[in-house]
């Protein structure tokens, strides 16, 4: 499955490089949703909420009401997860809170089948709080420990995020061997060949920069899906 991404910051659709530098702005959120209408699921990330710098709740709720969305960014407690599900989110993405007792509470509140755990890796270590803070964990080490509290993983190779230089297929191969849960790959996916190789591992592809810059063609991607 190919999952287009809508990342929100300051009320706009944006694309960042390695979670830091804004590279471009997309069209208005509903226009992006229209462009992505052929895809079965959309990934929506509230970057302001992820970084603790505000929120885009109204936009998140609007998008969740119009399409099948997995939504992340600032999902750090059960109340927030419940609100997103009630607003129409199909699933919630939990990053920072996945390494705290809050993960079990979130899973208990909305059901593990509605939870996707984000394992975002930079320099080999998981990063949290909008990728601003490194932990001592590796994705390969913790993936099995958090399996009971989710139905899938969003694994972002932050080292190449937004750079259009390809991704680390070997890393995704190791993660695929470590869990039977669904895995969605993100970070540096640039070509149809990248997507085909991930698909051959039974790994989904979340796409951002390659779509927004036109490197990958939406019609071709929709046909692939």
C-alpha–C-alpha distance, residues 18 and 65, integer Å: 29
| 31-40, 130-139, 148-157: segment of lowest average pLDDT | 130-139
Q: Active site includes 120?
A: yes
Express each pLDDT in 78-115 by its tens digit: 999 999 999 999 999 999 899 999 999 999 999 999 99
Q: At what angle are helices 192-200 and 169-178 packed, to 10 degrees?
A: 20
User: Do 125 and 131 touch, CB atoms closer than 8 A?
Assistant: no
Express each pLDDT in 167-189 by its tens digit: 999 999 999 999 999 999 999 99
| Domain 2-224 classification at class level | alpha beta
Model confidence at 225, in pLDDT bands (50, 70, 90)? Answer: low
User: Do 99 and 129 touch, CB atoms closer than 8 A?
Assistant: no
pLDDT at residue 21 is higher than 90: no
pTM, whole model, 2 decimals?
0.93
Mean pLDDT of the chain: 92
| 9-18, 64-73, 120-129, 205-214: segment of lowest average pLDDT | 120-129
Spatial CA neighbour of 88 closest among 117, 112, 59, 109: 59
Which member of 7, 46, 48, 194 is catalytic? 7
The stretch 49-66 carries a mean pLDDT of 92
User: Do 208 and 5 touch, CB atoms closer than 8 A?
Assistant: yes
pLDDT at residue 137 is higher than 90: no
pLDDT at residue 31 is higher than 70: yes
Express each pLDDT in 112-127 by its tens digit: 999 999 999 988 888 8
Cα torsion angle, 126, 72, 32, 196, sign: positive
The stretch 67-86 carries a mean pLDDT of 95
Give the domain ranges of the chain.
2-224
Would you state the structure tokens that stand for residue 187, as one six-digit string?
A: 């970070």
Can you give the pLDDT at residue 129?
77
Residue 170: burial class (beta carbons within 10 Å; 0-12, 13-18, 19+): exposed
The stretch 11-28 carries a mean pLDDT of 86
Would you state the structure tokens that stand for residue 94, as one six-digit string?
A: 């939990």
Q: Active site includes 7?
A: yes
Can you give the pLDDT at residue 162?
61
Can you give the pLDDT at residue 218?
94
Residue 126: burial class (beta carbons within 10 Å; 0-12, 13-18, 19+): buried
C-alpha–C-alpha distance, residues 113 and 3, integer Å: 18
Model confidence at 63, in pLDDT bands (50, 70, 90)? Answer: very high
Spatial CA neighbour of 201 closest among 224, 171, 159: 171
Which member of 46, 48, 79, 120 is catalytic? 120
């Amino acid at each position: 499955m190919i999952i287009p991404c809508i990342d929100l910051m300051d009320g706009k659709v944006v694309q960042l490089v390695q979670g830091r530098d804004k590279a471009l702005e997309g069209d208005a959120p509903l226009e992006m949703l229209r462009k992505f209408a052929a895809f079965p699921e959309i990934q929506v990330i509230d970057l302001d909420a992820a970084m603790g710098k505000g929120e885009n709740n109204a936009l998140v709720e609007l998008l969740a009401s119009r399409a099948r969305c997995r939504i992340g960014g600032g999902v750090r407690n059960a109340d927030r997860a419940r609100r997103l599900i009630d607003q129409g989110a199909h699933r919630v993405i939990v990053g920072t809170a996945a390494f705290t007792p809050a993960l079990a509470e979130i899973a208990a509140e909305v059901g593990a089948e509605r939870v996707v755990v984000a394992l975002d890796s930079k320099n080999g270590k998981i990063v949290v709080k909008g990728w601003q803070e490194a932990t001592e964990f590796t994705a390969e080490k913790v993936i099995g420990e958090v399996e009971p509290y989710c139905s899938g993983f969003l694994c972002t190779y932050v080292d190449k995020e937004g750079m259009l230089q390809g991704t680390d297929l070997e890393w995704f191969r190791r993660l695929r061997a470590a869990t039977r849960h669904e895995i969605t790959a993100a970070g540096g996916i640039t070509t149809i060949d990248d997507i085909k190789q991930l698909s051959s591992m039974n790994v989904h592809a979340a796409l951002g920069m390659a779509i927004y810059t036109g490197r990958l063609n939406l019609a071709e991607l929709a046909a692939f899906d």
